[in-house]
A and B are shown apart, each in its own frame.
Chain A
C-alpha cells in the first residue's frame, strides 16, 4: 500500500492505496465520493470524468498513487443542491438530464470546456462532449444546456 495525499474538492486527505488502484476506485470506495460513475472502466464512456488541475480526465485510467499534489475536482465539488454551478443550473433548465448516470461526467466535461472557451460554438460543444456517452438524451438538450451556461457566463 502507498500513502498518498490527495487534494479533492479543496480538501486534503491522506489515503492508503494499492499501486494499481485507479483514482475512480479510490474516490468511490475510500472517499465515499460515489458521484463519479463507472460506465466502462476502459476510458471510453466518460462517466468517470473528473477534473485534474482543471482538465478533464478519465478517473478509471488514472492511478490514484500518481495524483499526489494535483487538484482533483469531482461532481461533489462543482456545486450543491442549494447552490448549483451555472452549468448545473443550465442542465436543469434545458432538461438535459434523463436517467442521470452520465450527468456527472457530462457536467465536468462542460465545466472544463467553459473554463477554456468562454463562448464555444455548437460544433465545439459537441466535440468537447464527444468523449462522454449518453444513451438517453440524444445529446441535443445537453448541448443546449452548455450553450445556455456559456451565454449566461459570457453575455
Chain B
C-alpha cells in the first residue's frame, strides 16, 4: 500500500488547474469565425403562436440569421425525446407529446423556445432577439400540480387528455387495503415535495461547429454524458449520423442532473451551425438557466403507514401527483416512478406497499432528475411517516426504526417494490449516528434551549438509495430505452505511463484522482503516471456517463475488469520474457514474478516489450491496451442514518441547524476526503430544500423565483458544518465493493431536518410545516397553533 492507494485521502490532481483559473469550461472555448445565438423565449406560460415577424430583427446590425420552428421542422430535425416509457395501470404507454426544439404552434411554459437569432456578436444576437415580433394568443395556464389532471383544467397537449402523462402503480392495492383495515394503528400525511432549481454555478452552454469539408459536426457542450448526447442527437433528433458527430464535454461546472438531458439549445445550435456554415455559440444567462434547466422534485403526496399494536410496520399506501412540467424531458418519466416508488421500503421490512403516481403536464419548466432523483422524495415519504408514527405511538423514533429495520443477517433482502438489497448494516449505522450526534445529551440541550426561549428538535433520516444504475436487462424490462453499463480502456504507452479512457464524466466528482488511485493500486504503477481521459466521444469508448452515483460502482468496475485483462495479457508476455508458463506467473505490486522464485519483470518493461515485440510470444498480438465493458449485476444500496438537530426561535420563526451528523455506508471508500466533500455538498442541497429553496410559480405560470435574488440558495453563512462518518459494508456485487456517495446527503437531509423541525414544533402544538420551512412559514404555523389552542 502506498500513500496513493485505495482508501487514502489523496489530494486532487485536478486542483492545480482549477485554483489557478486554468480550468477549461465551455464558455472559455471559441472557434474561428464563430457566431452567437440568442433565443427568443416565450413570455407566456401558455399561448398560441399566431405569427412570427423577423423583419425588424433581420435589420439589426450584425444579425446573421433568424430561425424558427417551421424551418427546423422543414429540415426534418426531430423533436426532443424521453428515453424511458412508463406503462400505466391499464398497460398503455405514457403519453409523450411532441417536444419541438423550437415551438411551432403553441408555447407551453415561460422560457419555451420560439426562435433563435444568430449574430456576429452576442450583443447583436440579443438585440436581434429583442426585435423579433411574436404575436401570441394567450391561453389559460395549468400550473398547480395537485389539480392539473382534474376536470376543467386548461389542456396542454391534445395527445394527453386531462394533462395526464401516465397513471402508474406498483404493489397490490387490495392486500394493502386489507392490511390497513386490520391494523392497530395508522398515520396519514399529506405534503408537498417542493420544486427545486438545480443551479449548477456554470450555466449550460453549447458551441456547435460544422465542417463543410468533412461533413462532421463537433459539439462542445456542458454534458454529464457526452455519448448519450451524441446518441440522442443522431439517432432520434437526426442532426447527423452518429459517426459524423463528435461531442466534447470539457470541464463542466457542476451538473446535479441538469446536464444529463438533451435540450433544445444544443439541438438548435448544431442545426444552425450547418445552416449558416459557421460555428454557433450559446451560453445561458442565469435567468435562462432558471426557466430552461430541467427542474427537480415537485410532488404532492398523500402517504399512510399502518402498524400492529407494537409498532411493527404492516403496510404503506402512497399516492403521488408528480409534476412533469410542460414536456417530457429526457428521463423525466422514470424519476417519479421507478426511481421513487421502488425505494418506499426504505430500511424497513414493511411487507406490503402500494403506490400510485399520476404524472401530469403543467405549463411550467420540464422536471427531470435532480441530485437524488426520486430517492429524496421516497425517503421523505418513508421517514416522515416513521417519525409521525413514533410520535403517535409514543415510541422513541430510533427505537421504532430498530423494531422494523431489515437485520444485518437478512441480506440479500427482497422488498415488496422490486429491489433486492445486497447488503447493509442499518443498526450499526444508526448506533454510530446516535453516538456521533450525542443523542444521549439531547434532552439536556433541549432543556437548556427552552430556558433561552428556543425550541430544540431532533430528527432522524434512515435512508436507503439505489445507485450504480443499472443492470441493463432490468432497465429494459421497466421501459428504459438504453443499456446502463459502463466502459473503460486502459492503454499503456510504450514508455510505461498509462492512459485510462472512460465513458463517465467528472464535473466535480474527482475522477482524475480516484480513478487514478484505483489503477495505480491495481496495476502497481506510479499514481502520477496515470492519466484519465473523459468527456470526448472521439477519445473515449462509448459510455453512459455520470449520474445516479454510478461512476464508481459501474465505471470503476469497468476499469477494474480492464485491469484484469491487462494482467492476464501481461502474464503471457512476462512468461515469455522469464521463460516460464503464464500460469506460473503471479502479479503483485506492479511486478510479474515466477511463483516461488525471485525471477521478475516490471509491468512497464512488459508494456515496452508489447510495443517493441522483438522478443515476444509468437501467437500473441502486440500492444498493451485492453477495453472492458461492465454491466452491473444489481443496483448498489448506499444507506445510513443522518441526525439533524435544530433550534427554532418562536419569535421570528428562524430555524438554525445546530448539529448535523451523518453515518453512511458507501461500501469501500476510495478517497475519504473526496467522499466527505460529496456528502457535505449533498447535505447542503438537502438543507436547501428543507429550509431555503423553492421554485414558485404564480397562477399565470410566471416563475416568481427566477433569479438568485428570489430563489434562496444555501450560502456559507446560512449552513452549518457537519460531523460525517462512514461504516463499510462492501458490496459483494462489484469488484471494488463500492456503492456510491454522490447523492446520499441530498437524499437524507430533507427528512432529517424536517423531522427535527416537527419535533421542535410539536411542543407548541404545530403538526405540519411544509418545505421550505422558511421563517415566515414556521412563525405562521406557531401563531396558528396558538390561536387554535386558545379557542
Binding site for B on A (CB under 8 A): 28, 33-42, 44-45, 47, 74-76, 78-81, 84, 88, 91-93, 95, 97-104, 107, 122-123, 125-127, 129-143
Question: How far does the Cβ of A36 sit from chain B's closest Cβ, in whole Å?
Answer: 7
30 contacts between A and B (CB under 8 A): A37-B253, A38-B203, A41-B285, A42-B707, A44-B707, A76-B21, A88-B19, A95-B677, A97-B12, A99-B251, A100-B17, A100-B19, A100-B23, A100-B508, A101-B25, A101-B202, A101-B253, A104-B21, A107-B19, A126-B716, A129-B717, A130-B717, A130-B718, A135-B200, A135-B681, A135-B685, A136-B508, A136-B677, A140-B680, A142-B716
Question: How far does the Cβ of A26 sit from chain B's closest Cβ, in whole Å?
Answer: 14
Contact of B254 among A92, A99, A140 (CB under 8 A): A99
Q: Is residue B440 within 8 Å, beta carbon to beta carbon, of the partner chain?
A: no
Decide: A136 and B716 in contact? CB cutoff 8 A: no
CA gap between A91 and B681 in the complex, in Å:
16
CA gap between A139 and B509 in the complex, in Å:
16
Question: How far does the Cβ of B441 sit from chain A's closest Cβ, in whole Å?
Answer: 22
Decide: A84 and B16 in contact? CB cutoff 8 A: yes
Question: How far does the Cβ of A102 sit from chain B's closest Cβ, in whole Å?
Answer: 5
Decide: B19 and A143 in contact? CB cutoff 8 A: no
CA gap between A38 and B25 in the complex, in Å:
11
CA gap between A50 and B27 in the complex, in Å:
18
Question: Can you add 19 more A-B contacts, CB < 8 Å, to A99-B202, A136-B681?
Answer: A34-B27, A34-B28, A35-B23, A38-B203, A39-B201, A39-B202, A45-B708, A91-B19, A92-B11, A92-B15, A95-B676, A99-B252, A99-B254, A99-B508, A103-B18, A133-B708, A135-B199, A135-B201, A141-B677
Which A residues are in CB contact (< 8 Å) with B708?
A: 40, 42, 44-45, 133
* B199, B201, B745: residue with the most chain A Cβ atoms closer than 10 Å: B201
CA gap between A126 and B508 in the complex, in Å:
22
Q: Is residue B286 within 8 Å, beta carbon to beta carbon, of the partner chain?
A: yes
Contact of A138 among B14, B19, B745 (CB under 8 A): B745
Decide: A80 and B23 in contact? CB cutoff 8 A: no
**Count of A-B residue pairs with CB < 8 Å:** 185
* B18, B23, B200, B718: residue with the most chain A Cβ atoms closer than 10 Å: B18
Q: Is residue B713 within 8 Å, beta carbon to beta carbon, of the partner chain?
A: yes
Which B residues are in CB contact (< 8 Å) with A129?
A: 715-717
Name the residue of chain A whose CB is nearest to the CB of B506.
Answer: A99
CA gap between A93 and B473 in the complex, in Å:
42
Which A residues are in CB contact (< 8 Å) with B721?
A: 122, 140, 143
Name the residue of chain A whose CB is nearest to the CB of B123.
Answer: A18
Decide: A33 and B21 in contact? CB cutoff 8 A: yes
Instruction: Known A92-B12, A100-B23; judge A138-B719 contact (CB<8 A).
Output: yes
**Which residues in window 665-695 of B have CB below 8 A to A?**
673-674, 676-685
Instruction: Known A42-B707, A42-B708, A101-B23; judge A139-B719 contact (CB<8 A).
Output: yes
Q: Is residue B256 within 8 Å, beta carbon to beta carbon, of the partner chain?
A: yes
Q: Is residue B20 within 8 Å, beta carbon to beta carbon, of the partner chain?
A: yes
Decide: B681 and A97 in contact? CB cutoff 8 A: no
Decide: A75 and B21 in contact? CB cutoff 8 A: yes
Question: How far does the Cβ of A111 sit from chain B's closest Cβ, in whole Å?
Answer: 11
Query: 7 closest A-B pairs (Cβ-Cβ)?
Result: A35-B21, A101-B253, A100-B18, A138-B680, A75-B21, A99-B508, A138-B684
Which A residues are in CB contact (< 8 Å) with B19?
A: 75, 79, 84, 88, 91-92, 97, 100, 103-104, 107
Decide: A42 and B202 in contact? CB cutoff 8 A: no
CA gap between A134 and B717 in the complex, in Å:
12
Decide: B683 and A138 in contact? CB cutoff 8 A: yes
CA gap between A102 and B681 in the complex, in Å:
14
Decide: B716 and A98 in contact? CB cutoff 8 A: no
Which A residues are in CB contact (< 8 Å) with B717?
A: 123, 126-127, 129-130
CA gap between A107 and B22 in the complex, in Å:
13
CA gap between A84 and B685 in the complex, in Å:
30
Name the residue of chain A whose CB is nearest to the CB of B252.
Answer: A99
Question: How far does the Cβ of B90 sit from chain A's closest Cβ, in whole Å?
Answer: 41
Name the residue of chain A whose CB is nearest to the CB of B672.
Answer: A95
Which A residues are in CB contact (< 8 Å) with B20?
A: 35, 75-76, 78-81, 84, 88
Which B residues are in CB contact (< 8 Å) with A34?
A: 21, 27-28
Q: Is the interface of B mostly helix, strand, loop or mixed?
A: loop
CA gap between A123 and B719 in the complex, in Å:
11
Name the residue of chain B whose CB is nearest to the CB of A92.
Answer: B15
B 1-42 binary contact with A (CB < 8 Å = 1; else 0): 000000001011011111111110101100000000000000
Which B residues are in CB contact (< 8 Å) with A138?
A: 677, 679-685, 714, 719, 722, 745
Name the residue of chain B whose CB is nearest to the CB of A36.
Answer: B21
* B14, B510, B681: residue with the most chain A Cβ atoms closer than 10 Å: B681
Name the residue of chain A whose CB is nearest to the CB of B713.
Answer: A133
Question: How far does the Cβ of B705 sit from chain A's closest Cβ, in whole Å?
Answer: 13
Which B residues are in CB contact (< 8 Å) with A137?
A: 677, 680-681, 684
CA gap between A46 and B27 in the complex, in Å:
17
Decide: A130 and B716 in contact? CB cutoff 8 A: yes
B 423-464 binary contact with A (CB < 8 Å = 1; else 0): 000000000000000000000000000000000000000000
Decide: A98 and B677 in contact? CB cutoff 8 A: yes
Question: How far does the Cβ of B428 sit from chain A's closest Cβ, in whole Å?
Answer: 25
CA gap between A131 and B713 in the complex, in Å:
11
Decide: B16 and A81 in contact? CB cutoff 8 A: yes
Question: How far does the Cβ of A93 sit from chain B's closest Cβ, in whole Å?
Answer: 6
Which B residues are in CB contact (< 8 Å) with A81?
A: 16-17, 20, 22
Which B residues are in CB contact (< 8 Å) with A126?
A: 716-717
CA gap between A39 and B721 in the complex, in Å:
25
CA gap between A131 and B745 in the complex, in Å:
23
Which B residues are in CB contact (< 8 Å) with A131?
A: 715
Decide: B25 and A45 in contact? CB cutoff 8 A: no
B 247-265 binary contact with A (CB < 8 Å = 1; else 0): 0000111101000000000
Question: How far does the Cβ of A40 sit from chain B's closest Cβ, in whole Å?
Answer: 4
Question: How far does the Cβ of B708 sit from chain A's closest Cβ, in whole Å?
Answer: 4
B 267-305 binary contact with A (CB < 8 Å = 1; else 0): 000000000000000010110000000000000000000
B 502-513 binary contact with A (CB < 8 Å = 1; else 0): 000001111000
Instruction: Known A88-B19, A100-B251, A133-B713; judge A95-B681 contact (CB<8 A).
Output: no
Decide: B21 and A135 in contact? CB cutoff 8 A: no
Which B residues are in CB contact (< 8 Å) with A99?
A: 200-202, 251-254, 507-508
CA gap between A104 and B202 in the complex, in Å:
13
Q: Is residue B178 within 8 Å, beta carbon to beta carbon, of the partner chain?
A: no
Name the residue of chain B whose CB is nearest to the CB of A20.
Answer: B123
Which A residues are in CB contact (< 8 Å) with B9?
A: 95
Name the residue of chain B whose CB is nearest to the CB of A91.
Answer: B19
Which B residues are in CB contact (< 8 Å) with A28?
A: 27-28
Name the residue of chain B whose CB is nearest to the CB of A47.
Answer: B201
Decide: A95 and B674 in contact? CB cutoff 8 A: yes
Question: How far does the Cβ of B38 sit from chain A's closest Cβ, in whole Å?
Answer: 14
CA gap between A97 and B286 in the complex, in Å:
22
CA gap between A28 and B24 in the complex, in Å:
13
Which B residues are in CB contact (< 8 Å) with A103?
A: 18-19, 23
Which A residues are in CB contact (< 8 Å) with B253?
A: 37, 99-102
Which A residues are in CB contact (< 8 Å) with B198?
A: 135
Q: Is residue B174 within 8 Å, beta carbon to beta carbon, of the partner chain?
A: no
Name the residue of chain B whose CB is nearest to the CB of A137.
Answer: B681
Question: How far does the Cβ of A125 sit from chain B's closest Cβ, in whole Å?
Answer: 8
Question: How far does the Cβ of B154 sit from chain A's closest Cβ, in whole Å?
Answer: 32
Decide: A38 and B283 in contact? CB cutoff 8 A: yes
Name the residue of chain A whose CB is nearest to the CB of B20.
Answer: A81
Which B residues are in CB contact (< 8 Å) with A104?
A: 18-19, 21
Q: Is residue B709 within 8 Å, beta carbon to beta carbon, of the partner chain?
A: yes
Decide: B254 and A135 in contact? CB cutoff 8 A: yes
Name the residue of chain B whose CB is nearest to the CB of A94.
Answer: B673
Decide: B510 and A98 in contact? CB cutoff 8 A: yes
Which A residues are in CB contact (< 8 Å) with B679?
A: 138
Which A residues are in CB contact (< 8 Å) with B28?
A: 28, 34
Question: How far does the Cβ of A145 sit from chain B's closest Cβ, in whole Å?
Answer: 10
